[in-house]
Structure 1
Amino acid sequence: MKINEIILRHIKMDLLHPFTTSVGTEYDKDVLIIEAKTDSGYSGWAESVSIKEPIYNEETIGTNLPIMKDFLFPLVLEEALDHPSEVAERFRSIRGNFNAKAAVEQAVWDAYAKEEGRTLSEVLGGTKKEIDVGVSIGITETKEALLEKVRDFIDAGYKRIKVKVKPGWDIDVLEAIRETFPDIELMADANCAYTLEDIDHLKKFDRFGLMMIEQPLDHDDIIDHAKLQKHLQTPICLDESLHTKEDVRKAVELDSCRIVNLKVGRVGGLTETLAIHDLCMEKNIPMWCGGMLETGIGRAHNIAITSLEGFTYPGDTAPSSHYWERDIISPAVEMKDGIIHVPDRPGIGYEPDGDYIETITLYKERFTSIRK
């Protein structure tokens, strides 16, 4: 397979509702869309999960642009590929920049699956025909507003409820949810809002029967999470701390992490995702696929990876209508009774809406191979 052209688009989309976590509020989403074209006429699509500010990790759409243009695109365009996993090997000499790497690599995976006439799920080794869906609820103005959201999502069929927490918005909130909905599958996501000085406070979470507490401590920490886990009955799930298979191995061996939130963008792409998946299967560590407010293109990649056997918990891959008035794919990602069906068409299984994408494109540039 030869990638002979890459089209980079910067688009902007308005969220249906503001999304608030312990680190900030998002009202809209700037997205970098990658289209990788093969010499046989197929297009593979992916997106970067980077946002405008370096508040989730150090990457932004502004830092992604030069890395892609000056380093990643030339490495993909220079020579033919036998398999998309070779992209990760070509990128190995470039440190960090996981979101940027993932976006480029995922587009190649989609193109490869389409050339093979197979779904991306099949190419990755997925076995499920449908996936269970959870939902992530941001911080609201009042507990009453949060409880109303929880009720609406339960009625819609979501299999798991995740709520964002932070100091001052945690114990009372979880208590209110548990009193109102005692039997739901519930987890809390702290987005790095606590420290080891909060151990006694975090121990109070145990009484709510949570599936897990996600990333309570620093974004780059593994050691202190192991110390915290010794004091908690609630399993700790790591997110921001895990970028590679080696990070996961160390976290598991230290007992810093009993559950893994896998975000393809955070770990640099699908090749590393597969390596982490296999390690978690070997170590009996449950996994689920986290979300980054993706458009339908990124959401389609998440559906494909969640079809793998090791993804045992409902992920954050909610349907398009949860975030967008109009998504950029056709058909939109739809959910029924808390389930999304894995598409059976080649590649990611959804068709990007080219005409609509053009109307929301702020910047577009084409990159072509020097060696044909």
Structure 2
Amino acid sequence: MKITGIELRRIAMPLRAPFRTSFGVETARDVLLVRVVTPEAEGWGECVAMTEPLYNSEYVDGAADVLRRFLIPALPEGADAIAVKRALKPFKGHKMAKAALETAVLDAQLRARGESFGSYLGASRERVPCGVSVGIMDSIPELLDAVEGFIGEGYVRIKLKIQPGWDLAPVRAVRERFGDDVLLQVDANAAYTLADARQLAKLDAFDLLLIEQPLADDDLIQHAALAKLMSTPICLDESIESVEDAAAAITLGAASIINVKPGRVGGYLEAKAIHDLCVAHGVPVWCGGMLETGLGRAANVALAALPGFTLPGDTSASRRYFATDITTPFELADGHLDVPTGPGLGVEPIADILDDVTTAGEWIKL
């Protein structure tokens, strides 16, 4: 597949409400989109890096720079997605930038041959159950109101962001208000240390699905130690950047569940490899989210339809974060989202909306 040019486009997507985690507050998404153009089709990829390097070391300006200077020039002639993955491997890090480029190439490749993302990846379902991530709030009453709203919308699982000082009380309040039937999990975004093990173990009383990334992203050994001190399953997120990381975590006993975020691991091909590894070892996986637009959400929903994704993911409806999405919005129905069946991602940007939110663009001729 010959690529004739690539567009790097920046868009500004204001959030419907601030989203607060242990590492900061987001009020808008500065999104880098990658558009690959070939004689047969165009393809889109979404870079999920944040404006600042807070979730991990990547950030939007850095992603645009490494794409422009290194990754795009390294594309082989006649590249397909597998060849792109191979060509980008020598460059260290920059998984989110690599994922955006690989996804755009894969989207163009699949559109050209009329195959959907779900079919290519091996999806086994036509729709996927959806959870929702609830940020840290100013008060417990505010949190309870938010959770009540999401349950009313039909979300089948609630995830609470936690940090030291905001953990036991909010979890207890949600359990007492909504009962044991609500699927509930928590996400610490690496905010704790092993010295907090006694505090974290108190979460065992609330029958949680899992605790996500309680400790530092670069410390599997400490997570393995914590897993022996808690009955709540440990799930890793930031620690897993490759199939090798997943294998190490499983071998060490550092995780009994893994959150797969395609942007974090370098793309959907690597995400599929992690899924396959986890299925072989009987480890459940679920699809995480990075406040994606409809482009990234379409690919995530297709991934979440693979058979090993047995837990509801963070594949929320478009309106969870955005008043207006850049694609036809994903809408929740009975707690589920439909898996797109059209060629490639199965969705594409709506031109007028995309133009309205565009802040910068660059065309790179190949």
Q: Name the residue aligned to 1:268.
A: 266
Question: How many correspondences in the alignment?
Answer: 365
Deviation at 1:274, TM superposition (A): 1.3
Cα deviations by residue, 1:171-204 (Å, 9 ceiling, x for unpaired): 1111111111122000000011110111111110
Q: Name the residue aligned to 1:285.
A: 283
Q: Distance in 1 between matches of 2:279 and 2:306?
A: 10
Q: Name the residue aligned to 2:115.
A: 118
Map residues 320-359 of structure 1 onto 2, 5 A cutoff. 320-329=318-327, 331-359=328-356
| Paired AA for residue 310 in structure 2 | T
Q: Name the residue aligned to 1:62.
A: 61
What secondary structure is seen at the aligned counterpart in 2 of 1:298?
helix
Q: Larger deviation: 85-94 or 209-218?
A: 85-94
TM-score (norm 2): 0.98
Runs of 4+ in 1 over 6 A off after TM superposition: none
Q: Distance in 2 between matches of 1:343 and 1:267?
A: 23
| Paired AA for residue 273 in structure 2 | A
What secondary structure is seen at the aligned counterpart in 2 of 1:35?
strand
Q: Distance in 1 between matches of 2:67 and 2:351?
A: 22
Q: Name the residue aligned to 1:254.
A: 252
Q: Distance in 2 between matches of 1:7 and 1:304?
A: 24
| Paired AA for residue 165 in structure 1 | I
Deviation at 1:38, TM superposition (A): 1.2
User: Of 118, 139, 148, which residue of structure 1 is paired with 2:145?
Assistant: 148
Q: Name the residue aligned to 2:25.
A: 25
Q: Name the residue aligned to 1:46.
A: 45
1:135 aligns with 2:132: yes
Cα deviations by residue, 1:54-112 (Å, 9 ceiling, x for unpaired): 11000001111111001111222x4002x411111011110110000000001111111
Q: Distance in 2 between matches of 1:260 and 1:25?
A: 25
1:15 aligns with 2:12: no
What secondary structure is seen at the aligned counterpart in 2 of 1:27?
strand
What secondary structure is seen at the aligned counterpart in 1 of 2:254?
coil
User: Of 215, 218, 221, which residue of structure 1 is paired with 2:216?
Assistant: 218
Q: Distance in 1 between matches of 2:92 and 2:237?
A: 19
| Paired AA for residue 77 in structure 2 | E
* 5+ long unaligned stretches in structure 1: none
Please report the RMSD computed on the Cα atoms of aligned residues, expressed in angstroms. 0.9
Q: Distance in 2 between matches of 1:139 and 1:101?
A: 30
Cα deviations by residue, 1:207-250 (Å, 9 ceiling, x for unpaired): 00000000000122211000000000000000001100000000
Deviation at 1:355, TM superposition (A): 2.2
Q: Larger deviation: 19-28 or 344-353?
A: 344-353
Q: Distance in 2 between matches of 1:366 and 1:111?
A: 17
Identity %: 45
What secondary structure is seen at the aligned counterpart in 2 of 1:74?
coil
Deviation at 1:45, TM superposition (A): 0.6
Q: Name the residue aligned to 2:161.
A: 164
TM-score (norm 1): 0.97
| Paired AA for residue 209 in structure 1 | D
